[in-house]
Amino acid sequence: EFKSAPRPSVEKLLPQVKNIIAVSSGKGGVGKSTVAANLAIALAKLGYKVGLLDTDIFGPSVPKMFGVEDARPNAVEKEGRDLIEPIVKYGVKILSIGFFVDPDTATLWRGGMATSALKQLIADADWGDLDYFVLDTPPGTSDIHLTLLQTLAITGAVIVSTPQKVALADARKGIDMYRNDKVNVPILGLVENMAWFTPAELPENKYYIFGKDGCKNLAKEMGCPLLAQIPIVQSICESGDAGEPAAVNVDSIVGQAFLNLAQAVV
Ligand code: ADP
C-alpha cells in the first residue's frame, strides 16, 4: 500500500525529465515494443540516463523483453512519500503494469482503472533525473494515449510501421493524432520495421515481404524524417523472447542499427 499524496499538476509532473519520447504504432504487432525497448537500451549505451515506461496496460511486453517478468518493484520513501522504485536492467529504469498485476486480470479492468494505474506509474515512481523517458504506448489511438497526452509534456513521437499498406494507413492515423491542433506533439520520425527479409544462406538478397519503401514514401508524404529501416532478422525476435534485446549487443549489425536510430533521435 502506498501513502497517497496530492498529485502534482500536469506541468510539474516529472520536472527532472528532459525529453519524453512516445513510441507509437497504428497497428499492433509491427514491432513497436521491440523498437521502444531497443531504442531505450541504445540511448543508455550512448551514455544518457534513460527510463522506459510500458504503458500498454492490457498487453505489457517490456518485462518479458528485459527478462524481468518476476521482478517486483520496491517502495522507497522520498520527502515523506512512498514511491515505486523502477527496475533497472541494461542501464534502463523500467516500469510496467506487468510487474504488479497479472495481465489477464487487467484485461477485465474498466478504462478508468487502467488510466489511474498508468498515472501512478508516472507520478508515484522514483524516476529521478532522466535525459530520455521512452513511452511504449499501446497500439492505435486509445484512452491511454489521451491520458499520456494530458499528463505529460511529450517532446516528440516516433512512429513504427511495417511497409505494408494496412499498417501504413494506421500509422498515418497515429501521426494525425499527434499533429491534431489540440495535441501538437512533433513527429520525430518514422521507423520502418520488417523492411525486408534476408535469408542467412543468401546474404546479398533482400526480399521485400511487406512491400518496398512504404515508410520512406509515407515519411515524404507526411513531411517527417525516416529514422531507420530495420530488416526482419531472426535474432531480433529470439533476443526479445530471451530477455536480451538486440541493442544490448552493440557489435552486432542489428545492435548497430538501433544505435543509429538512437543517434537519429537525440
Ligand atoms: P508491437 O509492440 O507492435 O505489438 P512487438 O514489438 O511485440 O510488436 O513485435 C511483435 C513480434 O515481432 C515479436 O515477437 C517480436 O519479437 C517480433 N519482431 C519485431 N520486430 C522484428 C524484426 N525486425 N525482425 C524479427 N522479428 C521482429
- Domains of the chain: which residue ranges? 14-265
DSSP SS3 for 18: strand
pLDDT in tens, 175-218: 999 998 888 999 999 999 999 998 878 888 999 999 999 999 99
Please tell me the distance from the alpha carbon of residue 179 to that of residue 165, in angstroms, as a whole number.
Answer: 21
What number does the ligand 1 atom closest to the CA of 231 have?
23
Count the alpha carbons within 13 Å of 132 in the hemisphere toward its beta carbon.
28
- Predicted TM-score (pTM) of the model is 0.94
Interface confidence, given as ipTM, is 0.99
pLDDT in tens, 75-116: 999 989 999 999 999 999 999 999 998 877 877 888 788 889
Pocket of ligand 1 (CB under 6 A): 25, 28-34, 61, 193-194, 230, 232-233, 236-237, 240
pLDDT given for residue 12 in this prediction: 61
Give the residue, by CA position, lying nearest to ligand 1 atom 20.
Answer: 31
What number does the ligand 1 atom closest to the CA of 136 have?
2
Looking at residue 10, the DSSP 8-state letter turns out to be G
Residue 223, pLDDT above cutoff 90: yes
pLDDT given for residue 90 in this prediction: 98
Phi/psi for 80 (5° steps) reads 80, 5
Sequence letter at residue 185: V
Residue 62, pLDDT above cutoff 90: yes
Quote the mean pLDDT of the chain: 91
- Chain mean position to CA 93: 13
Q: How far is the CA of 11 from the centre of ligand 1 (A)?
A: 34
pLDDT given for residue 3 in this prediction: 47
Percentage of the chain lying above the pLDDT 70 cut: 95
Residue 45, pLDDT above cutoff 70: yes
Q: Would you identify the CATH topology of the domain 14-265? A: Rossmann fold (3.40.50)
